[in-house]
Amino acid sequence: MIEQISAIIHMDGNGLYVWSCFLLLILIIGINIYMPIRKLKKVNKESQSKTQ
């Protein structure tokens, strides 16, 4: 089991290339999900401070 996992991670010495691409993908999608949420939060805050 552990051998299998380490084989997947290492990918015959190419693991670093493949997994860094995967991390970049996750990072870029993460940023794109975070941005609209941040925008909406800002509007909410503004409207709350207006009503108070």
Assess contact for 9 and 19: CB atoms under 8 A: yes
Number of residues that make up the chain: 52
Q: State the distance between the two ends of the chain, measured CA to CA, in whole angstroms.
A: 59
- Minimal distance in Å, beta carbon 41 to other proteins? 10
- Minimal distance in Å, beta carbon 33 to other proteins? 7
- Minimal distance in Å, beta carbon 11 to other proteins? 4
Sign of CA dihedral 13, 16, 21, 22: positive
Where do contacts with other proteins occur on this chain (CB under 8 A)?
A: 8, 11-12, 14-15, 17-18, 20-22, 24-25, 28-29, 31-33, 35-37, 39-40, 43-44, 46-47
